[in-house]
Amino acid sequence: MNTTIVHFDLDTFFVSCERLLDSRLNNKPVIVGGTGDRGVVSAASYETRAYGVHSGMPMKMARQLCPNAIYIRGNAGTYTKFSKQVTEILQSEVPVLEKSSVDEFYADLTGMDRFFGCYKFASELRNKIIHEAGLPISFGLSVNKTVSKVATNEAKPNNQLKIDVGYEKAFLAPLSIKKIPMVGEKTYRTFCNMGIKNVHMVQKMPVDMMTSVFGKNGRIIWQRANGIDHTPIVEYHERKSISSERTYGQDTINITTLKTTITAMAENLAFQLRRGGKLTSCVTVKIRYSDFQTYSKQIKIPYTSADHHLIPVVMQLFENLFRRRLLIRLVGVRYSGLTAGTYQINLFDDEKKTVNLYRAMDDIRIRFGDRSIMRAATMGEGARTIGNFTNPFSGEPPIVLAHRTQ
């Protein structure tokens, strides 16, 4: 039996949410993202595309290309709410659902042709989302995830497309190689240097040549260009690490601000570990200087999720890393090597009252927010925006707003 995979994508999701909240934004050029000079475009309405604006572009460049657009910083809580609404509609209707990002979904409809007709069912489901959530959405339907995703991008905006079984290769052939997932700017430039710009040229290439140029990814790109993809639907995404980064509005060498930010990130991530019932065994600290040189250090530690164990490790890594004494653009903290478990009392250092203190603090944070209670050392200017409004271990992908400023 051939599989049937449908890919749903909410069109310009952040912009659509803002328009749902304020109808005055309809049919006007709208850009959502970091509003400072170092901000990045998270979503751009189709009205701005004619000016060359696209997601991932520096906000400073977007302002130059489209000065008359309406610029909105956005709200993660709002977008999460709308995303959950669409997720609940899909979960109630489809047998197997994968939420690959805040605005993208894959559903396995294999076998439903016997009862409903997969294309008809997907069309009715799309109309239901538009009617109940009020958000424009597109979908592509085919035998695998790659072709369905490409079909969705070809169907946009606010439309749908079905690729019949056996026509996957013919559908992909005339498209630009950039349309294939996994082909980024660097890979695309390599293809251009080889004189290859369209998918049909890749389809004609020997797979051995692809692997000699791109390594093991070359075989995957060749398979996807030929409409071959056996990637299964994954209902739950297991987080292997959690991290937090902050880019300052102005490069700084203020050691107090830097340490405040680092401490706040270490404390908040430790709370996220305890809330998700996780322990970490590897701590990483990253620094990016004003000349864009990026350095990181990591260390293996005994499994823990306690602030008073993790913060000293993070601060020591920062002290060892901060050697150049140049202006700093970005700092970050990451906990990896995660495993399920709860905080264990250290036989020599900890007392029961320490565990009770963490439990009380976490209860307050869960009820009133991440920043409702904090260490005095994290109350400075550098830690204003540190916090996470969602549980990173819920199985859903994180929401990314591309805010690069404090």
Task: Return d(Cα 286, Cα 297) in angstroms, integer.
Answer: 7
Q: Give the bridge partners for 137, in sequence order.
A: 10
Q: Can you read off the two tokens belonging to residue 240?
A: 């292997």
CB atoms within 10 A of CB 205: 16
E strands, 50-148, where?
70-72, 96-101, 104-108, 137-142
Q: Is residue 138 within 8 Å of 158, Cβ to Cβ?
A: yes
Nearest Cα to Cα of residue 307 among 337, 341, 335: 335
Could you write out the DSSP letters of every residue in 203-262?
HHS-HHHHHHHHTHHHHHHHHHHTT---PPP-S----SEEEEEEEEEEEE--HHHHHHHH
What b/e string do you get for 341-376 counting C-beta neighbours within 10 Å, with b at 16 or more?
eebeeeeeeeeeebeeebeebeeebeeeebbeebbe
| Single-letter code of the amino acid located at 251 | D
Q: Which of 88, 93, 98, 104 is catalytic?
A: 104
Q: Say whether 381 is catalytic.
A: no
Cis peptide before 157 (omega within 30 of 0): yes
Q: Can you read off the two tokens belonging to residue 122?
A: 């997907």
| Single-letter code of the amino acid located at 202 | V
Q: Binding site annotation covers 103?
A: yes
Task: Return d(Cα 199, Cα 25) in angstroms, integer.
Answer: 38
Nearest Cα to Cα of residue 109 among 138, 153, 139, 137: 139
Per the annotation, binding residues for Mg(2+) are 9, 103
What residues act catalytically? Answer: 104
